[in-house]
Amino acid sequence: MTSTTPIQGNNQGRISRRFAELKQQNRAGLVTFISAGDPDYDTGLNNLIALSESGADVIELGMPFTDPMADGASIQKSSLRALTAGQNMQKTLQMVRELRKKDQDTPLVLMGYYNPIYCMGVDTFLAQAAEAGVDGLIVVDLPPEHDDELCVPAQKHGINFIRLATPTTDAKRLPMVLENTSGFLYYVSSTGVTGAAAPTPEKVEGEVSAIRAHTDIPIAVGFGIRTPEQAERIAKFADAVVVGSALTDCVENAATPAAGTDAIAELTRSLAKAVREAR
C-alpha cells in the first residue's frame, strides 16, 4: 500500500492536517476551484477570500493559461477573462500572499499547466510559491514520467504534488501515478473535460474503492459536481468533493463583480453544508 510521500519545508503538513481533521470529524471535505484573477485581480482576490470564509476546506486556485486543454468551456472562459485583465503568475502568487494575511490554515493548491511554471523557471517558481504559502500543485500535463522536472523539486520545497487518476487509469498504471503523489489524489470521475456530466455515484464509489486497495492517501472526487445534492452523494464515500465549473459560472453569470462574489459565497456555503451533513 502506498502512503503519502514525506515532504520537507515550511509548508509541511497543512494539507495532511486538514485531512486528519476531516477524518476525526468523520466527514468529507469541500475542495473549491476558481481561476486566479477572474474577472480581474481585485474581484478575484475577493472571490478567493469568499471561498475561505464560506466553508471551503481546501482551495484550488487556477493558474490562467492560454491553452487549457483539459478544461471545459466554463473554466476556459474564466482563464481567458483573467488573462485579458492582465493576470500573470506573479499576480497569482501575490493573491496567495494576500490570502495568507487573513487565513493561515486553509490549504491552497495551485492548479493548471506546466508552461507558465516553465516560463517563470522551476526553481524561481517553487521558491516564491513556498514563500507565498502554496501547499500543493496540480499540473495536469506533467505525467509521472517527468517527475524529476517538477514533482520531486516541489516536494523538496515543502509543496505537495497532487496527481490525477481517471476511470481509464488501469491497475498497471496506477502504481506509477501514486508513487510520488502527496497531499491527496484527485480522482477525475468522468472522462473528457471539466464540467462534463457526472457518472452515477454508485459507479464512482466502486472505482474509488478499487483505488483504496492500493493507497491510504485521501481521495478527492471531482468533475461534473455542480449542486449540493450531487456533492452530498459523493461525500458519503469520498474523502473530499471537488467543485469548480459551478463556481466559475458564478462569475460569468453575475450582473456585477460584487454579485459574482456573493454568488460564490452562497454556493460555497450550501455545498459545505451538504458535505458536512452527508454522513
Burial 236-269 (b: 16+ CB within 10 A, else e): ebbbbbbbbbbbbbbbeebeebeebbebbbebbb
Element (H, E) at 217: none
Locus of grid cell 445534492: 229
Which grid cell is 204? 464512482
Which residue in 38, 57, 60, 147 is the catalytic one?
A: 60
Query: Is residue 53 flagged as an active site residue?
Result: no
Which residue in 21, 40, 67, 71 is the catalytic one?
A: 71
Nearest Cα residue to 62 out of 50, 49, 45, 79: 79
Residue 172: beta bridge partners? none
Cβ neighbour number for residue 123 with a 10 Å cutoff: 10
Nearest Cα residue to 126 out of 98, 146, 156: 156
Nearest Cα residue to 109 out of 91, 128, 129, 86: 129
Within its chain, how far is the Cα of 126 from the centroid? 17
Which grid cell is 104? 493561515
Please answer whether residues 268 and 54 qualify as being in contact, where contact means their C-beta atoms are separated by less than 8 angstroms.
Answer: yes
Query: Is residue 38 flagged as an active site residue?
Result: no
Give the catalytic positions in this structure.
Answer: 60, 71
